[in-house]
Amino acid sequence: MSLPTSTSDLAPEWGRCLAACLGALGIGALLLLAFMIVVDPYDSGKFGLLGIDGVDDRDTHTATASRARDARFDSAVIGNSTAQMLDPAELSRATGLRFVQLYLTGGSPREQLAVLDFFMRNHQRVGALVFITDPWWCAHDRAEPAPGRFPYWLYGKSSLAYAARLISWPAIEHASQRISIGFGLRKRTDPDGFFSYEDIWLPGTFRETNRPRDPALAVTAAGRDIFPEVSQLDDVIKKLPASVPVVLLVPPTFYTTVAIPGTAEGVEREACDAALRRVVAGRPHSNFINYRIDNALTRDPANFADFIHYRPSIAARMVEGIAASFQLGQAARIDF
């Protein structure tokens, strides 16, 4: 068995073949890239010449970029699906600001920080920020990101890294959706990003799933106060003008998953709460609220879809707490 060998010396014809092959590859790639740059399939703001408004995308990892740079909003809710039920329209009504929902399904703190960075780069004036800090924020080790899980290239500063990712089937699909929006053949998804999971997890049902993923206990007492991602959030918040209100929330979970004070888990929780509280300490109109407590509301399964996803009844209380915090800061009375 051997490779095919040349039986004729047809160099000019083979030269034409080579030119045809490389020409088709090169010209095809250039045309495709040019099309992508003109359309900007993810509405990232890095490219795009057609002025198409928004995306039709239910994948929060990619759709959030379009929302995060939308000039109609000046304030943001950032978190993962435990932030999803906070209705930005309700928050806007309660605070007078213009809120957009920037939750990432299954989003890790590192990913949420990437979204925050992108939001701040695209808004010269930030109205307010609400951060939903679920247990992942309390990890003592900064986990390496899983490759390919989150499109950091979409939220990063580099246009080149973004352009390199535009030669892909999903990008082509997104581009065709954007073209359809441009021609009025398809509606864009709601710009404020609110999507109630009650459409899927119907009211009145409680599934014993999604236990909160509390991080591993610190190995040493000294390590208990180290929260790398909270520190990173602190660095970012410190760069914001003091006039920008920031509220950090620990989302409520079903009471059986609340750490009991005095236990090792309880001590860990208190250490993380203290670290989060320090991020907004002294900042006007800002607050830290821990909703992960054992009370009548968190004992009622009707208030939860599962262990970590709360219903609108609790979300409404949280909106009230956020609005009160924006007015009175840490002196706000939290009714929960």
Q: Is 91 in the site for another protein (CB under 8 A)?
A: no
Q: Is 9 in the site for another protein (CB under 8 A)?
A: yes
Judged by CB under 8 A, the residue of 25, 89, 160, 217 near another protein is 25
Nearer Cβ to another protein, position 115 or 171?
A: 171
Structure tokens at 103: 């939750």
Q: What angle do CA 271, 275, 279 make, to 5 degrees?
A: 165
Q: How far is the CB of 155 from another protein (least distance, A)?
A: 18
Q: Which residue has the tokens 């099309």?
A: 35
Q: How far is the CB of 176 from another protein (least distance, A)?
A: 14
Q: Is 144 in the site for another protein (CB under 8 A)?
A: no
Nearer Cβ to another protein, position 9 or 335?
A: 9
Burial 289-299 (b: 16+ CB within 10 A, else e): bbbbebeebbe
Site string for another protein, 95-134 (x = CB under 8 A): ----------------------------------------
Nearer Cβ to another protein, position 7 or 124?
A: 7
Judged by CB under 8 A, the residue of 105, 121, 156, 172 near another protein is 172
Pair 43, 178: CB distance under 8 Å: yes
Nearer Cβ to another protein, position 29 or 143?
A: 29
Q: Is 22 in the site for another protein (CB under 8 A)?
A: yes
Q: How far is the CB of 251 from another protein (least distance, A)?
A: 30
Q: How far is the CB of 31 from another protein (least distance, A)?
A: 10
Find all residues with CB under 8 Å of 18, minimum gap 6, and list them: none
Q: How far is the CB of 12 from another protein (least distance, A)?
A: 8
Q: Which residue has the tokens 């509220």?
A: 247
Nearer Cβ to another protein, position 166 or 324?
A: 166
Burial 195-234 (b: 16+ CB within 10 A, else e): beeeeebeeeebeeebebebbeebeeeeebebbebbeebe
Q: How far is the CB of 58 from another protein (least distance, A)?
A: 18
Q: Is 147 in the site for another protein (CB under 8 A)?
A: yes
Q: Contacts with another protein in 217-276 (CB under 8 A)?
A: none
Residues that bind another protein (CB under 8 A): 1-4, 6-11, 13-26, 28-29, 32, 147-148, 164-172
